[in-house]
Structure 1
């Protein structure tokens, strides 16, 4: 017997307005923690699947959201897409027909996508017990032992204690009737059913034959792949719930009492009851039993209030007495009539996030850093305060290199500002101050230009080479750039380790990151065509990534290693950074295209998906750290992973087709929205977003502009290729 978890992903959740709306229903909201209700459900039921599939039944309009949510938690599923909603009866029938086609003896565990069940182990144990009964032809529902006389739930009357036949189902009662039901041993109807596919289709054929016929006819001939579109035959199914179609008529229903914590999270009072529904910045004084959810960038303050919910979205605010939480539908009906554009999620223009990014680059970031971000001698400022004042105690080579690269790329994108002057002066300052007598690049200078740190780190060599390649491509000082790069190339070839790769200085000499930036620089110089040995270095780093940096079983990339390029001992060896999954994905995909290597391309695509595991659905940002189980290790989210997410998403979209391309483009829009959270109107930025939702108050590091420009390059490329709307994203 195989169990196939079936997640029913319909419903609007209108009592949870303004957070839940038709375009963003409650199952996709993080109402009880960091993950959405849908993601929590998937993770709760996936271990039940065994060799079977996790099946999700949903409407066409939610295909991208579901695919993105699944990718973010690294779970595969088959998505059955309905051409139109026909209520739970046809949806469950389609899932049963799908399972029966795959496995005539399969048992479906039909689960709501939007319930809160914190004890996953107890839930799975109950489903397994129910599955044994379902394999004998019964339709088993889970009946939750009530903890109070709720009038918000339907009830089940069992014939006897324990697993038993159902005597009757009853609708939501009034308060007095609910109290009597508790005394009589009734159970809450959880809406979860465990039944063999064959038994469910048999009962549908007896009691609602139109549903069973339409469901079978709606299955396409080819059920392979992760996305199955039901045909238009599905539209002929009667619109009816499974309760009315089968459960209230069948003589094969049983109920298994369960006593784990359960809630359908149907209204704001039940969200508060979970203890994990608060979100955003709330300042409360003498405020008792209040639920506050504040949108990003907003603070909600309460004084001397009790028993209320304050739900503040970007376009709508609900203030509700919690005793009236079940009546929010009344408000929604008024909103539909009097302010209809606020009844659904505000329409987000696909063009907007990319156009705003281009406008910000052209009118704010580049002008600011080309003026207040430079010194008269050609050096670049390390950091600027959010008011645009320089703040620095040293001048690192990486900042000089990165800013040279930034302005060279700005020129390539057509920026009309003084990019050439900044590149020329910056290059002269770099070659005069940072290059040692042996041709290596020293780490840092003091602010007066004297040497602070004469060490030659691999990281600094890589960025120096990247800057030189960009200057060479711009046609500036090409002979000097080639000569300096040639000296550095000879050093790299001499310093390559016998077992591959290059050693870095500091506490982590064997690391992926410094080698990654050398990989980027080698690719850039290989594209200049001046020395074929740059191709050899790029190939060497790619092979090291494929054989050592990327975990052979998990397909994710680690950060730190020992001298044999095995994972470093302890927590260092377990570190997985989402931003670097994205960054390596982009670099490896470019290398795979250049070499025509399908193996490397497959690894690049898998790294991208692993990067999505680090996207926090509550804040919509990529966090800094995971561990090697791909669980979040640090909730802090710096700016640069958002840029690498955006760049990689657009690159992956360019490699995809059809629904997968649309999914990647949707992820790119999310990444652009995440990046926008950090960018300040004057051209500076915030760098660190804490897990609490607050930004660290500190100057903007100049080195981040390298990451921002990298993402912007990819946006411009996507616009020129027609992947994103042809907005004025460029700098000219």
Structure 2
């Protein structure tokens, strides 16, 4: 029998200890209006603002922790739900602003609303009664404004009053839409969310990416025509970088496996090619991004000839690669994914985990030293925590529902 870390009690214990350590660090992010972004030492900077994205991700993460049996987390979930229903919600026009009134540009993004829906669904599973109303509100906004049935995908963003729609479509927001839709399908019991996830996957992966060597095109115009030169002059953008993003290829690969398992669990047919696409996305990203510049680790972006553009190593990319290697190992039982899984965690343990100040460095420079070109501080719990939980969970249902079983 293969000696897989996923079967090893000691590995499970290590994952649990690290998750608890991250949660202890993240508790300091609480602000009156939600959750803020912690600095490298785990402190809230003077004048810190509770951004909606981090509040939604923290609410989701603390809901997972509560469901995992970590005491003291349900109150943090309730705090996040109250913030998303109060100061972060646009009482005038509906939906969610990026930050409380007076901060940010007022635009409303599909990416952000997907995380609000995910947070609300996880809070419902965690038993927060008030989250039911938040979930209903998030669903109504997604269906009214963001979901385009004709295109089978999410629109990107709107002006605050919903009158102006951005002439851009993004794979990133739709990827997190798929993540949210899987959770919504579990919490509501409504198969239309799985059908929508399938529609997005068919457009962006089974057609677009499959036609380009399973490289994920990130940027499109409003008619879903690829924009390969988008942000060429701003290649290190944190959300819309130029070129291809290997971390998103890993993330998409994992979501394809979750979608396949969720459809099977619901008794619905799965599109042909989900597993081959997941394999191809992972293998291509691994081959083109790991150790590609002579140093260990995965680079942030590549150009269209698969050459590194932004060579910084981001923690979320490695968290997603680890979680996807675990998912592929579960789905296939093939030892190559165990090798990748071990290699990624060894790299995370050596370079990303910060034993002095806590949590993980969010970014490393090309020499694998802590950096802050793209992401400063340590605001994100979501990616690392999920990477620590997913290896011990089935591919379906989604995280919160699986932890509640």
TM above 0.5: yes
CA contact (8 A) 1:374 1:380 kept: yes
The one of 18, 28, 32 equivalent to 1:360 is: 18
CA contact (8 A) 1:472 1:481 kept: no
Tell me whether 1:504 sits opposite 2:165 in the alignment. no
Q: Distance in 2 between matches of 1:482 and 1:568?
A: 34
Change (3 A) 1:630 1:544: same
> What is the deviation of 1:369?
1.5
> What is the deviation of 1:421?
0.3
Give the 3-state SS of the residue equivalent to 2:324 in structure 1: helix
Tell me whether 1:474 sits opposite 2:140 in the alignment. no
Partner of 2:399: none
Partner of 2:90: 436
> What is the deviation of 1:535?
2.6
Q: Distance in 2 between matches of 1:426 and 1:546?
A: 33
> What is the deviation of 1:505?
3.7
Partner of 1:374: 30
CA contact (8 A) 2:33 2:88 kept: no
Give the 3-state SS of the residue equivalent to 1:622 in structure 2: coil
Q: Distance in 1 between matches of 2:106 and 2:17?
A: 40
Count the aligned residue pairs.
360
CA contact (8 A) 1:466 1:521 kept: yes
Tell me whether 1:700 sits opposite 2:377 in the alignment. yes
Structure 1 residues without counterparts, runs of 5 or longer: 1-63, 65-349, 719-729
Change (3 A) 1:352 1:603: same
Change (3 A) 1:498 1:598: closer
Partner of 1:459: 111
CA contact (8 A) 2:95 2:108 kept: yes
The one of 574, 577, 589 equivalent to 2:257 is: 589
Partner of 1:637: 313
Change (3 A) 1:693 1:683: closer
CA contact (8 A) 1:397 1:441 kept: yes
Q: Distance in 2 between matches of 1:490 and 1:402?
A: 21
TM-score (norm 2): 0.80
Cα deviations by residue, 1:204-243 (Å, 9 ceiling, x for unpaired): xxxxxxxxxxxxxxxxxxxxxxxxxxxxxxxxxxxxxxxx
The one of 697, 717, 726 equivalent to 2:393 is: 717
Q: How does 1:199-598 map to 2 (within 5 A)?
A: 355-362=13-20, 364-370=21-27, 372-375=28-31, 377=32, 379-386=34-41, 388-391=42-45, 393-416=48-71, 418-437=72-91, 438-445=93-100, 450-477=102-129, 478-492=131-145, 495-496=147-148, 498-505=150-157, 509-570=168-229, 575-595=243-263, 596-598=270-272
More displaced, 592-601 or 467-476?
Answer: 592-601
Change (3 A) 1:503 1:597: closer
Give the number of the structure whose residues are more often strand, by fraction: 1
> What is the deviation of 1:712?
1.4
Root mean square deviation, CA, Å: 2.8
Structure 2 residues without counterparts, runs of 5 or longer: 159-165, 233-241, 264-269, 395-402
The one of 273, 278, 281 equivalent to 1:599 is: 273
Cα deviations by residue, 1:3-31 (Å, 9 ceiling, x for unpaired): xxxxxxxxxxxxxxxxxxxxxxxxxxxxx
CA contact (8 A) 1:360 1:683 kept: no
Q: Distance in 2 between matches of 1:619 and 1:510?
A: 34
Partner of 1:653: 329
Tell me whether 1:684 sits opposite 2:359 in the alignment. yes
Q: Distance in 1 between matches of 2:96 and 2:86?
A: 11
Partner of 1:159: none
CA contact (8 A) 2:117 2:135 kept: no
CA contact (8 A) 2:34 2:55 kept: yes
CA contact (8 A) 1:558 1:567 kept: yes
Change (3 A) 1:433 1:578: same
Q: Distance in 2 between matches of 1:592 and 1:360?
A: 29
TM-score (norm 1): 0.46
Change (3 A) 1:650 1:539: same
Q: Distance in 2 between matches of 1:675 and 1:414?
A: 25
Q: Distance in 2 between matches of 1:352 and 1:688?
A: 28
Tell me whether 1:673 sits opposite 2:349 in the alignment. no
Q: How does 1:11-160 map to 2 (within 5 A)?
A: none
The higher-RCO structure (CA 8 Å, 6+ apart) is: 2
Q: Distance in 2 between matches of 1:633 and 1:468?
A: 36
CA contact (8 A) 1:381 1:390 kept: yes
Give the number of the structure whose residues are more often helix, by fraction: 2
